[in-house]
Structure 1
Amino acid sequence: MMKKLLLIAFALLCVNTYAQDETRPWAFGVGINTTDASQHGVTDPWDQFKDYIGPFVDTNTVPVLSRISVARYLNRSFTVDFAFAYNQLEKKYGESEVLDNLNYFSTDLGLRYDLNNVIGETGWFDPYAKLAMGIVSVDGDWGVPASAAFGFNTWFNDKFGLNFETSYKSTAHFAGNSFLGLDDAGNVAGIGNYHFQHSISFVYKFGAKDTDKDGVPDKEDLCPETPGKKELFGCADEDGDGIVDKDDACPKLAGSASTKGCPDTDKDGVADKDDACPNVKGLKALQGCPDADGDGVADKDDACPNVAGTMETGGCPDADGDGIADKDDKCPNEVGVKENGGCADPIVPDFNDSRYERTKGELIKTVEFNFGSYSFKLGVKDRLDDVVALLDEKKVAGLYVEGHADSTGPAAYNVKLSKERADAVVDYLVSKGIDKSRLIVLGLGETKPKASNSTAKGRADNRRVEISIVEMKKK
């Protein structure tokens, strides 16, 4: 009978395998077991092997369900299990000797190691090796066997399968061990020091958590809090467009994957909710609106929809590139300003034009003065002549003339002295024909040193007048 069951077991290896894992961590098994008494220990491996493979004249099998087991998956390498088995011993030690139908009980607590970690995932074969400790009892005479086992699972589906296991058990290590007080846990009458035990069980996996009760375990459920469909990995699809609600931007309206589940009436790839022109096919870059002249301005916003223009001119042409559409430009071929109707502004604005505000710009000259004086040093007039030439050429609208002093003496005196220095520069520029109205004069005293006043060189640098360009900016 056991040989037939073994053949069935190996035939079932062709069944698809659904490995026990954290999705269904518990497995409960019921089946039958066979015991095979042996006279050979691990020191006689050849005799032990011959005894293992047959002949089966000393095997004992109860033709009813005689084994139950419970296994708990720990991780991809280890599973712990507990097994209880019952048998009746009629034959022993390779003989046909008839015993008195001795009642045999065994319990084992084992740790399985998944051999797929060694041989690689097979997809059809789920083997393991196991070490276990347990208790065996034969009509009240008991022992504590250690066992090594090999087994495999093959699954019919994700819940039901078949388990085959074969183990070698030995109580010899406790024989005569009075130190541990287990000298009676060695040789067990009726079974001896060594025996094999084989089993085949039907197993059922359970324990998978399914929070939303949709039949998809949380481990496999992409939407574990919301009931859904198995083919959608546990997620719902309210509008039936094939896009799960959690990924559907419009879960109540059928759409397509390209628009994240939202409708797209004009089929331009822009969802109606984001389409500024939902009934006219357009461009994604223009929120679904068309652009007939291809200038990057949507027709609905294009003042010249059939002639290419620029964004700055509302989609109309601008031949001179001054930001004023040709249709509004009085000088369409000349770069100009809006205030002049698209025509050019003067190169240098009128210094007193109220449309401009004046700010200090680039520093163009610095002239130094003697201590306590507003008289020019040698060479200063040459520098000021350069400034006069700049103003004469009308490249600038005006100048800031700022007088400065070092920190020697009272602050009020230094302000007066710095103003006198600035006035001396202005007087020279005016003497050269520069209109005084184009000059802004300031006496700042010692408030803005450009060097340290703690050295003679630094104080000399601080006795100066700075001349800067006046920038004219439109208000």
Structure 2
Amino acid sequence: MKHLNKLFAVALLFAGLTSQAQDNNNPWAVSFGVNGVDTKVSAAGNDSPKWIQLANAKENWNILPSVSYLSVSKYVGDGFSFGLTGSVNKIDRWVSRVPGTQSTDMVSNPGDLSYYGVDATVKYSFMELLKSKWLEPSAHVGGGYTFFGDASAGTVNGGLGLTFWLTEGVGLQFQSTYKHSFDDTRVADFDVPSHIQHFAGLTFKFGGKDTDNDGIYDKDDACPEVAGLPEFKGCPDTDKDGIQDSADSCQDVAGLAEFNGCPDTDGDGIIDSEDECFDVKGTKIMKGCPDADGDGVADKDDNCPSVKGAKENAGCPWPDTDGDGVADKDDKCPTVAGTVANNGCPEVSDEAIKKLNDYAKTILFNSGKSTFQKQTYPVLQAITAILKEYPSAKFSIEGHTDSDGSEEMNQKLSASRADAVKAYLIENGISADRLSATGFGEKYPIDSNKTSKGKANNRRVEVKLVK
């Protein structure tokens, strides 16, 4: 019994280290323990139950108090396994018939017969039918060869078993086998009686290969070299998001199935890796960023996020200093209100042109010269002020004379006088590229050259808008 205690201690330690198993994954099993041999079952006149006679076990059973049997079996499928069992015992209790009667008696010492048995067994397990993970009833048949002292004989065997699985790979086994001998004369050392052999011990299953130690055997493991989960046939789910790594585009961070395992932190339908603002809801157009004012510039890049503006101006509206509806960048007159049609500059009205020419008609030159009379300067200043009101408008200065003198002389005089007016305007702040000067001499009179008044009217300067 001392050896049995050690054996059970080792078995329990092994049970704690053994991984889960199934018959079709762990096809091999080894069982060992103690056996008891009962000869009363075949004695004539035995009117007690003939299978497991526990009531008289102490008187009738032969038990060797040490490991006395070893069995090796292999699972072959569909609940069936095939095995070989070797057992030893010492027979010091032999139940025999009392001569001349129908009663039985025990030969307390038939000579300490040695007992050896070698048996082949086909076992059927009812475990799958019961759908149990810890209780395994079974039935077995087979045959073997048994030695009783100097006698030996073949036997036909059949029996029942019950195994309690401590884990799915380590079990506590009980089994009883009826061995029918065809050489049963009940004479010790001369024949082998039919008998029942009982077994009690531990059984271990092994042989399954689980390379990655994930509890799923390689033959059923879709990822045999990487530890995984049963629901993914042994394949891993590193980020534990319910999507196995092989189908997970973001294996290291938990995500959603609709995005192939990638996260969408802000829930805007754009995965974080493609979302430039992954913690704030945005739009696909803005690559996941919000655009509060809808101007096409993401808020993170918009210097004016609550007011629509231009991309070129960092999301802000262009300034319009003069408030004429034309942005300063396009306004040729940014400080003077104008019209869109005139690029932000004011339109020159007919009234302004009339006023210019009314002033121009009063410009007086020294006789025969292009120099101004003193009283003309206020007139020139008024013309300059009007032109400055229309900073983008262009004007033509035209000089005219009466018919006195030669035509050639009048042409030159008209041109020089027009140039003189132009020069004055430029000197007083009017851009040269806005002005042109032309002399027409006596070609275009507006009155008769036969009277002094008419000639005075023909000697004139006109200002015309260039369109």
TM-score after normalising by structure 1: 0.48
TM-score after normalising by structure 2: 0.49
When Rg is computed on C-alpha atoms for both structures, the one with the higher figure is 2
